[in-house]
Amino acid sequence: MKLEQIYTGCIAEAAYYITSNGEAAIVDPLRETQPYLDRLERDNVKLKYIFETHFHADFVSGHIDLAKKTGATIVYGPTTMKTGFEMHVGTDGEIFKVGGIEIKLIHTPGHTMESSCFLVSDEDGKEQGLISGDTLFIGDVGRPDLAQQVIADLTQDKLARHLYHSLRTKIMPLSDDLIVYPNHGAGSACGKNMSKETTDTLGNQKKTNYALQEMTEDQFVEAILTGLTTPPQYFPKNVLMNIQGYDSLDSIMEKAQKAFSVNEFEVLINETKVLILDTRRAEIFAKGFIPNSLNIGLESNFASWVGELILDIKQEIIIVAENNEKVKEAIIRLLRVGYDNAIGYLEGGFEAWQNAGKEINIVHRITAEQLEKHCNQKKQIIIDVRKVSEFQSEHLVDAINIPLNVLHNHLAEFPRDKAFILHCAGGYRSMIAASMLKQKGFDNFVDVIGGFNDIKETSLLKTEYVCPSTML
């Protein structure tokens, strides 16, 4: 038996590839299916099952395309949900054979009602691993407030109570030496404080995971609901795509990779409502960009920030990237979160635009040392766009917190008649914020290079550090 975790850092997602005696199963696949098809061919195995731990909210799964291309059966846990594709609705305790191994479905409602874990036993019948989906993470458990975004009756309180019993009656009785294989790690918004580790023994989680400690049901509900924030706006839209179905990735990729010349690009952005998405790094974008561009750099949690900030999942998008390889990467990462309407890219990128003598814009930046000097000379308006939890943990005294994910709802709080300074943790998010402000006509600010990471090294007055209880 081989059980391999395939981890994708940009969305903090783990898929699983399991093989035995010429057959295979894949759990929670990403939307781009070709890497899985290549692996199956290389290993000379036939895909028998595609297991889904639940209807995902933070990404669009590849279950539909993968099933069409391989003939594999899609399996979900107990659900009455009507889907836009054929699937097998599993039952609690149902056993699926893959080659010489067995995979047991364990129904664990709580994150969602159909949420299930899969217990993998090897050819000798020994239980080896628990693929725990969003039921159990390393150091955390799945947040129970997401399903109500799709089904109003499924309140976070009801789901939290389901989760309490699922963990204590279905998961905790299992063997301590089982390896826990979750669907997400640190950086995902499906939990509030996940570890950077992506596997652990169940025994160690019983000792260290706050949600698995001895407590009453009411205490558990309070513990897991504390520190939750409003989930990203694209989550319920991804859930519906995973339930109802979607267009094939291959057809979308073909449309999205259309090259536009500078003149064609200019006509398009002037005559339509297409969004210019500039995926270059913050330090490059700041030096010159096409007016009205939204900068979300590929080097960090690109897909998650697209989902947070581009409110219309059907928005037509045209890409500006460093090169054609980066264009393709951007398209794939857009598709992972359901943004299927990329219509092409600017051929030659920003350099072609600039060389054609077209109008450009810039973002003025200063270092943390320059900020320190300015603040020593005169009181400054400083706006911190980090998460609330980061800000509460430690921040500059008198700084104003307007988190990036809600910035579009708080534009009136940014002064137009006074200069202000913008920063995040390291410069990635503040450049996104800068591009959004530039779109709205703000030009009276500067961005801090290196963000709060560099600011901490200065003598500027900061609040006392408090260890954050949530990463949301």
Give tens-digit pLDDT for 304-344.
Answer: 999 999 999 999 999 999 999 999 999 999 999 999 999 99
Q: Compute how many other C-beta atoms are within 10 angstroms of the C-beta atom of residue 194.
A: 23
Q: Order across the sheet with 342-346: list the strands.
A: 259-260, 342-346, 317-320, 275-278, 294-295
Residue 152, pLDDT score: 82
Average pLDDT, the chain: 97
Do 11 and 57 touch, CB atoms closer than 8 A? no
- Do the Cβ atoms of 224 and 156 come closer than 8 Å? no
| Rounded mean pLDDT, 115-144 | 98
Alpha helices in 10-112 (DSSP H): 34-43, 63-70
CB 449 within 8 A of CB 366: yes
Say if residues 293 and 321 touch (Cβ distance below 8 Å): no
pLDDT greater than 90 at residue 37: yes
How far is Cα 29 from Cα 418, in angstroms, rounded to an integer? 49
pLDDT at 149 over 90: no
What's residue 54's pLDDT? 98
pTM of this prediction?
0.96
Q: Name the pLDDT band for 50 (thresholds 50, 70, 90).
A: very high
Residue 17 β-bridge partners: 4, 26
From residue 258, alpha-carbon distances to 136, 169, 281, 347 in Å are: 42, 53, 22, 9
Predicted confidence at residue 151, as pLDDT, reads: 86
